[in-house]
Amino acid sequence: METEGSFENLLRWAADRGISDSVDKESSNSCLGRSLCVSLFPDAGGRGLGAVRNLNNGELVLRVPKSVLFTTQSLLLENEKLSMALKRYPSLSSTQKLTFCLLYEIGEGSNSWWFPYFKHLPQSYDILATFGEFEKQALQVDYAIWATEKAALKSHTEWREVKGLMEDSNVKRQLQTFKAWLWASATISSRALYVPWDEAGCLCPVGDLFNYAAPEGESLDIRDVSSFSQHASSGGDMTTDELHEEQGDTQRALTDGGFDEKVSAYCFYARESYKKGQQVLLSYGTYTNLELLEYYGFILQENPNDRVFIPLEHDIYTTSSWPKESLYICQNGNPSFALLSALRLWATRPNKRRGVGHLAYAGSQLSVDNEMSVMQWLSKNCHTVLSNLPTSVEEDRRLLCNICKVQDLQIPRGLGKMLSTYGGEFCAFLKTNGLMNGDEAELRLTGKVKHSLDRWKLAVQWRISYKKALIDCISYCTRTISSLS
Could you read off the pLDDT of 149-177 as tens digits, one per residue? 999 999 999 999 999 999 999 999 999 99
First to last CA, the chain: 65
Q: What is the pTM of this model?
A: 0.85
Give CA separation, 103 vs 77, 174, 179, in Å. 17, 10, 12
In degrees rounded to 5, what are phi and psi of residue 266? -85, 125
Q: What is the mean pLDDT of residues 424-435?
A: 78
pLDDT class of 436 with cuts at 50, 70, 90: low
pLDDT class of 404 with cuts at 50, 70, 90: confident
Angle of the 178-191 helix axis to the 94-106 helix axis, nearest 10: 110
Helix (H) or strand (E) holding 453: helix 447-484
pLDDT class of 441 with cuts at 50, 70, 90: very low
Residue with the bigger pLDDT between 231 and 335: it is 335
Q: Check residue 416 and give its pLDDT.
A: 60
Domain boundaries 306-484, corresponding CATH code:
3.90.1420
What is the number of other CB atoms lying within 10 angstroms of the CB of residue 410? 6
Residues of the chain above pLDDT 90, percent: 55
CA dist., res. 342 & res. 317, Å (int): 8
The answer for residues whose C-beta is within 8 angstroms of residue 347's C-beta and 6 or more apart is 370, 373, 374, 377
Residue 68: which of 202, 193, 192 has the closest Cα? Answer: 202
Give CA separation, 413 vs 43, 322, 404, 410, 438, in Å. 28, 56, 17, 9, 12
Q: In which region does residue 51 sit, left (phi positive, over 0), alpha (psi from -120 to 50) or beta (all else)?
A: beta
Contact assessment for residue 390 and residue 140, using Cβ atoms and an 8 Å cutoff:
yes
Contact assessment for residue 39 and residue 47, using Cβ atoms and an 8 Å cutoff:
yes
Q: Check residue 444 and give its pLDDT.
A: 63
Look over the chain and give the mean of its residue pLDDT values, rounded to a whole number.
Answer: 84
Can you count the helices (H) and strands (E) in the chain? Answer: 19, 11
Q: What is the mean pLDDT of residues 206-214?
A: 86
Q: Check residue 432 and give its pLDDT.
A: 81
Q: Check residue 310 and give its pLDDT.
A: 93
Residue 442 has pLDDT above 60, yes or no: no
Contact assessment for residue 464 and residue 392, using Cβ atoms and an 8 Å cutoff:
no
Residue 15: which of 70, 77, 62 has the closest Cα? Answer: 62
CA dist., res. 1 & res. 48, Å (int): 19
Residue 396 has pLDDT above 50, yes or no: yes
pLDDT class of 274 with cuts at 50, 70, 90: very high
Listed in sequence order, the DSSP H helices in 289-367 are 289-295, 314-319, 337-346, 353-361
Between 60-74, 148-162, 411-425, the lowest mean confidence (pLDDT) is in: 411-425
Residue 296: which of 452, 219, 187 has the closest Cα? Answer: 187
Q: Check residue 469 and give its pLDDT.
A: 96
Domain map of the chain by residue range? 72-203, 306-484
pLDDT class of 253 with cuts at 50, 70, 90: very low
Q: Check residue 334 and give its pLDDT.
A: 95
Range among 27-41, 135-149, 407-421 with highest mean pLDDT value: 135-149
Residue with the bigger pLDDT between 427 and 390: it is 390
Residue with the bigger pLDDT between 349 and 433: it is 349
| Greatest distance between any 2 Cα atoms in the chain | 75
Residue 38: which of 279, 394, 285 has the closest Cα? Answer: 279
pLDDT digits (tens, 9 = 90+) for 443-452: 566 778 888 8
CA dist., res. 293 & res. 100, Å (int): 23
Residue with the bigger pLDDT between 310 and 439: it is 310
Q: Check residue 249 and give its pLDDT.
A: 40
Residue 130: which of 287, 298, 288, 297 has the closest Cα? Answer: 297
pLDDT class of 243 with cuts at 50, 70, 90: very low
Rg of the chain over CA atoms, in angstroms?
Answer: 25
In this structure, the strands spanning 281-282 and 211-212 are parallel
Helix (H, G, I), strand (E, B), or coil: what is residue 247?
helix
Residue 64: which of 277, 271, 210 has the closest Cα? Answer: 210
